[in-house]
């Protein structure tokens, strides 16, 4: 906490619902034109892809999806029939350098709804400077940019939010106890500008419990992890620290 850049600020974490610390969190769904990192905690985990797709703005415009060769081999290609209503403009390149170039070109283009790049591992070209360039481009043009990184990645990044996503055992299937149900993910926001980091259990609204997702602005539900203490406690703790 002491090393966090938000130390000393009074952070508002949204409304609490009063259900024993379970709160609807402000989600990253409101598309902010910034660069965000999504890291995969485990190899070939598609949770990070699903999380990013759920966070993209609802739009008729196409999404530029750039993949390098290593991530294509490691994580596979995004499969069209599983996407609902997202138009993908795919760019398949072999090197991370070309991924960054294509992402920069896309981030400067206001006709896209979002730009998503995928890089596997930690190539030397993907350093702090490169991410800084991407972040500035995204903030200038107003196109949200996501960088999905798989493999053991630790390092500096100028991304405004850095998430680490992993799958959790799924919900119970409503009709079949032996079958996996609706997906549940663990989302850890470990670096953020303007908001507090934290760890949440994320599930889709209306995926299996019958609640419709149409009216809501986002279709992800963020629950604080049980056992971590309630969110109000976190909030007051931060406020105390600030005082």
Partner 1 sequence: MTAIQRTLPDEAVPVVLAATGTHGLVVHAVNAAGAARGILAGARVVDVQAIHPDLHVEQADVSGDQAMLKRVALWARRWCPWTVVDGYGGVADGILLDVRGAAHLFGGEARLLRDMHARLVMQGLSARLALAPTRGAAQMLARFGVQGAMCDDADVVELLAPLPVAALRLPRETVRLLERLGLRTLGALEAVPRVGLMRRFAGTAEAVNPLVLLDRALGRSADPLDAPAEAVRCLARVRMAEPVIDPLPWLEGLADDLAAQLAQAEQGARQLRVTIYRVDGEWRSRDVSTAQASRDAAHFVRLVAGKLDGIDPGFGFDLMTLEALRVEPLSLRQDRLDGGRDAGADVAALLDRLTAKLGPSKVTWDAWVQSHKPERVARAVPALAGGEEAAVEVARERPLRLFDPAEEVVVLYAVPEGPPARFSWRRVAFLMVRFEGPERIAPEWWRDRAGTRLRDYYKVEVTDGRRLWLFREGIVGDARGGAPRWFVQGVFG
Residues lying near partner 1 in the complex (CB under 8 A) are found at: 42-47, 49-51, 53, 61-62, 64, 75-83, 87-93, 98, 101-102, 105-106, 109-112, 166-170, 173, 176, 178-180, 183-184
Please count the other Cβ atoms lying within 10 Å of the Cβ belonging to residue 25. Answer: 21
Alpha carbons 38 and 36: distance in angstroms, whole number: 7
Q: How far is CA 55 from CA 36, 122, 144, in A?
A: 11, 24, 10
Find the shortest distance in angstroms from Cβ 99 to partner 1: 11
> Cβ closer to partner 1: 105 or 234?
105
> Cβ closer to partner 1: 41 or 153?
41
Find the shortest distance in angstroms from Cβ 73 to partner 1: 9
> Cβ closer to partner 1: 23 or 53?
53
Find the shortest distance in angstroms from Cβ 105 to partner 1: 6
> Cβ closer to partner 1: 60 or 240?
60
CB 24 within 8 A of CB 62: no
Cβ neighbours of residue 103 closer than 8 Å, sequence gap 6 or more: 64, 66, 115, 117, 134, 145, 147
Find the shortest distance in angstroms from Cβ 88 to partner 1: 6
Phi, psi (rounded to 5 degrees) for 89? -105, 110
> Cβ closer to partner 1: 173 or 237?
173
Find the shortest distance in angstroms from Cβ 173 to partner 1: 7
Burial of 39 (0-12, 13-18, 19+ CB in 10 A): buried
Find the shortest distance in angstroms from Cβ 124 to partner 1: 21
DSSP 162: E
Alpha carbons 13 and 90: distance in angstroms, whole number: 36
- Mapped onto helix, strand or coil, the DSSP state of residue 141 is helix
> Cβ closer to partner 1: 12 or 90?
90
């Amino acid at each position: 906490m002491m090393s966090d850049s938000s130390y000393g600020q009074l952070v508002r974490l949204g409304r609490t619902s009063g259900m024993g610390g379970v709160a609807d969190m402000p989600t990253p769904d409101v598309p902010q034109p910034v660069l965000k990192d999504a890291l995969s905690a485990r190899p070939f985990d598609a949770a990070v892809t699903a999380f990013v797709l759920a966070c993209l703005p609802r739009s008729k415009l196409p999404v530029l999806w750039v993949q390098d060769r290593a991530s294509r081999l490691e994580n596979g290609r995004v499969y069209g029939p599983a996407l609902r209503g997202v138009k993908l403009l795919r760019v398949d390149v072999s090197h991370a350098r070309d991924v960054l170039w294509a992402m920069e070109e896309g981030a400067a283009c206001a006709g896209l709804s979002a730009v998503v790049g995928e890089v596997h591992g930690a190539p030397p070209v993907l350093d702090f400077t490169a991410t800084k360039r991407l972040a500035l481009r995204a903030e200038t043009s107003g196109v949200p940019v996501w960088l999905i990184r798989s493999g053991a990645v630790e390092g500096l990044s100028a991304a405004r939010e850095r998430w680490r996503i992993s799958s959790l055992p799924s919900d119970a299937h409503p009709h079949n106890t032996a079958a996996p149900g609706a997906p549940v993910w663990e989302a850890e926001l470990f670096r953020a500008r303007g908001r507090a980091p934290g760890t949440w259990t994320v599930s889709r609204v209306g995926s299996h419990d019958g609640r419709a997702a149409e009216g809501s602005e986002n279709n992800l539900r963020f629950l604080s992890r049980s056992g971590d203490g309630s969110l109000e406690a976190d909030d007051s703790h931060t406020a105390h620290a600030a005082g």
